[in-house]
Amino acid sequence: MSLAGKRILTTRAAHQAGEFLDLLTEFGAEAESLPTIAVVDPISWDDLDTGLRRLHEQSTGRFQTSFYDWVFFTSGNGVEWFRKRLDALGFDLRILGGTQVCAVGTATAEALLEQGIVVDLIPEEFKAEGVIESFTARHGGPERVAGVRVLFPRARVAREVLPDKLRQLGVQIDIVETYRTIKPEIDVARWQSRLRAGEFDAVTFTSSSTVTQFAELFPGQPVTELLANTQVACIGPVTSDTARKLGLRVAIQPVEYTIPALTLAMSDFFTANPGGLIR
């Protein structure tokens, strides 16, 4: 109960927040959710459907055609919507037979395993550089990945760092829109008042998109003012970098980029700093 008495705000999408809220509650926190993003279907399924049909054709071996060597997943949302469309088309997990699967992050790997998808590669470091290092090592070096074909199901808008670095090595990538993140409807005035009053001891960000869309929820209001009396906790360095670019001071960041590790990092922080704010 090391977070007893602490009020923690999560910013994950509503359909993902439950596990985090439960974990915070187990640690004694008063946990509340302000979803900064809502996850919805893509504008068009066409690109993903093409990729799935190619995987199906490849798995049957009827046409002696191979389209993809790997499928890369970078989020639990990508996994969930990939499986959702797989079922809608009447396919099953056998379409991944003969295709290797990379999970960027342990949470993504867990989401894949929950769906019954075998994970072949989990990079030791979840930033683009770490993914490249693990991926090229798997193939015997950077000089041996040219021509490798990757299907990349992801959000409509996402960082291009990893795809760009892979392309620089000669990897052939098909990025397919699998889901979209949009701004949810909230009572802006109410939340603005609560945040400025410092009702929460910490606000948590679990991706760069939660940071940027948090800021977009409050147009014309600097996030530095909204969170002037609240600790900022980020799941990893990429998310922290995004927060700092908005002028936020990141007080809490775990070594391992997972929800349980983020919870433990907050526990350690508030145990060492029971008063909370350090400026």
Query: What confidence score (pLDDT) does residue 126 get?
Result: 63
Tell whether the model's pLDDT for residue 9 goes beyond 90: yes
Which amino acid, one-letter code, is at 11?
Answer: T
Residue 87 and residue 159 in one domain: yes
Concatenating the DSSP letter of every residue in the chain gives -TTTT-EEEE-S-HHHHHHHHHHHHHTT-EEEE----EEE--S-SHHHHHHHHHHHHHHH-SS-----SEEEE-SHHHHHHHHHHHHHTT--GGGGTT-EEEESSHHHHHHHHHTTPPP-B--SS-SHHHHHHHHHHHTTSGGG-TT-EEEEEEESS---HHHHHHHHTT-EEEEEEEEEEEPPP--HHHHHHHHHTT--SEEEE-SHHHHHHHHHTSTTS-HHHHTTTSEEEESSHHHHHHHHHTTPPEEE--SS-SHHHHHHHHHHHHHH-TT----
Q: Is residue 279 part of a domain?
A: no
Question: Could you tell me which residues come within 8 angstroms of residue 114 by beta carbon, excluding any fewer than 6 positions away?
Answer: none
pLDDT for the residue numbered 145: 93
Structural domain including 73 reads 46-181
Residues 152 and 215 in one domain: no
Q: What's the number of domains the chain is made of?
A: 2
What pLDDT, in 10s, does the model give residues 208-223? 888 988 999 998 889 9
CA separation for the pair 126, 102 (Å, rounded): 11
Answer with the one of 163, 181, 199 that is the final residue of a domain. 181
Asked if 176 and 191 sit in the same domain, the reply is: no
Looking at the structure, tell me whether residues 233 and 146 fall in a common domain: no
* Tally of residues, the chain: 279
Predicted pLDDT of residue 192: 94
* Residue at a domain's end among 181, 205, 236: 181
**How much of the chain, in percent, has pLDDT values that exceed 70?**
96
pTM of this structure:
0.70
Tell me the average pLDDT of the chain.
89
Is residue 1, in this structure, part of any structural domain at all? Answer: no
Task: Assess if residue 82 is contained within a domain.
Answer: yes
pLDDT digits (tens, 9 = 90+) for 83-109: 999 999 999 999 998 899 999 887 788
23-46 mean pLDDT: 92
Q: Is the pLDDT of residue 140 over 80?
A: yes
What is the mean pLDDT of the segment spanning 163-184? 91
Q: Does residue 204 sit within a domain?
A: yes
Let me know whether 175 and 188 are in one domain: no
User: What pLDDT is stored for residue 158 in this prediction?
Assistant: 67
9-13, 110-114, 127-131, 223-227: the lowest-pLDDT one: 127-131
Shared domain check, 253 and 202: yes
Q: Which of 152, 181, 210 is the last residue of a domain?
A: 181
| pLDDT for residue 279 | 44
In tens, the pLDDT along 230-279 reads 999 999 888 999 999 999 999 999 988 888 999 999 999 999 987 655 44
The CATH number given to whatever domain includes residue 168 is 3.40.50.10090
pLDDT score recorded for residue 38: 83
**In percent, how much of the chain has pLDDT > 90?**
64
Q: Do 171 and 218 fall within a single domain?
A: no
- Whether residues 190 and 173 share a domain: the answer is no
CB-based contact 136:145 (threshold 8 Å): yes
